[in-house]
Structure 1
């Protein structure tokens, strides 16, 4: 099933996996207020496994909409940044796994959007970067926070301060990208396979893992372990845990409940 709004295409396959496509090819899928508003509306209730991509062309998402940003006042700029941060936080908090599939440029807000997913697959044509300093700006949708979490603070500083762009192979080497593929089709097929592998597991357990990983990121070890222990205890309250352990002991395949 496909549904189309002004800037987003939603493809839902078998009721389980959503392919969310930012569809603004005339502007290289740039993140305008309109695009971000539609993303916010969708992500507030999103709960299914998701592939996030951009409409085919030279860019996954080229960045924020510079034409829209240029005349903004400081207060308007702050509101735009907060909207972008809210969208990235909503994407990061989707309880199911989200794979960003990047083909072409993922710069500025596009890189920030990809980093808010659980992990990134890319084609060999993908290019990443936070070039905001070239415009007299800084990453404003979470890039200063998430990039250092993925590649480390020293390298994040180098990339952000210089505005340097990173091609797919290097992005994989530094830990920004999980896998690189020869074509868009290969990348999307691999993402679907990975989500299929995840789908046979307990969705409740996957959601608890995601919450524990996201919640402990940047925390000290003691705080992170407390969060993990809380999620571990919660798993014992779920039907999936009872089904999974019973199936293991009975040497059968578990049957987990999926929403």
Structure 2
């Protein structure tokens, strides 16, 4: 269930589109503890409750996000202060890190598409975040940076398995090894974003129009597209074609198709059933 307010986000739902806005511009939308805890709760509440057909993520202020808030590195957030054995600490670190990774995994796992609109800096964890989404756009002042290298870290929340799905391995390596800033036009050239816009307003108008168009389609067909595209990315063509056959054998909805045909002939918007709600717990 969505809360009335969040420390790092503004959340609205209108016309079947959920809009999640990073709302700490005074802190460059850096990712503090509340960010990591609340984001998966928001995404999963929308997904499990079938509250929207599309999710849009954007942010307020000059920068999309400065990445991980430095406060995260203080205290015992990743490694238990009570342990002194390096191997025990390593195990604790790994398992705590998996919880952080989960905060972005839920974006990829959501049944509905997640669209991301970026401006200014998309730094460090921002790369991890946007690459978990389905489609990305940016403004002309945007830049993308694997910042972890610049602070003597190896990116560990999703950059490497996801970034190379959208850009070539050579570009992933150049961005990672150098920690350089990739400007907006280069990001479009290498395939990280679909389009570049001169202003934040122009970008959001475009992204919301795309979201609105997706929201008009059959939710079951759209979630099928997302599921099968993601499956095909990680499996052979043969395996994917077989899975597509299995999917359509069980979920090719003739009544939904008939509604789409009829609505088109009658020049009206089709009316489709929403995705079903799923449980928050196993039982």
With structure 2 as the length reference, what TM-score do the two structures score?
0.82
Match of 1:64 among 42, 62, 68: 68
Tell me the matched-pair count.
254
Cα distance in 1 between the residues matched to 2:32 and 2:254: 41
Q: Which runs of 5+ in 2 are unaligned?
A: 80-88, 275-283
Shift of the alpha carbon at 1:199?
2.1
Paired residue secondary structure (2:193): coil
Match of 1:255 among 267, 270, 273: 270
Match of 2:104 among 82, 88, 95: 88
Q: Is the contact between residue 63 and residue 107 of structure 1 (CA under 8 Å) also seen in structure 2?
A: yes
Paired residue secondary structure (2:20): strand
Q: Is the contact between residue 114 and residue 133 of structure 2 (CA under 8 Å) also seen in structure 1?
A: yes
Cα distance in 2 between the residues matched to 1:235 and 1:252: 25
Paired residue secondary structure (2:271): coil
Q: Is the contact between residue 97 and residue 118 of structure 1 (CA under 8 Å) also seen in structure 2?
A: yes
What residue number does 1:13 align with?
14
Shift of the alpha carbon at 1:80?
4.9
Q: Is the contact between residue 69 and residue 77 of structure 1 (CA under 8 Å) also seen in structure 2?
A: no
Match of 1:200 among 197, 200, 216: 216
Matched, 1:167 2:183: yes
Structure having greater relative contact order (Cα 8 Å, sep ≥ 6): 2
Match of 1:221 among 237, 248, 255: 237
Matched, 1:115 2:128: no
Q: Which structure has the bigger radius of gyration? A: 2
Shift of the alpha carbon at 1:153?
1.9
Cα distance in 1 between the residues matched to 2:98 and 2:116: 22
Q: Which runs of 5+ in 1 are unaligned?
A: none
Matched, 1:50 2:55: yes
1:81-160 equivalent positions in 2, closer than 5 A = 81-160=97-176
| More off after superposition, 198-207 vs 166-175 | 198-207
Root mean square deviation, CA, Å: 2.2
Cα distance in 2 between the residues matched to 1:247 and 1:19: 27
What residue number does 1:190 align with?
206
Cα distance in 2 between the residues matched to 1:77 and 1:70: 14
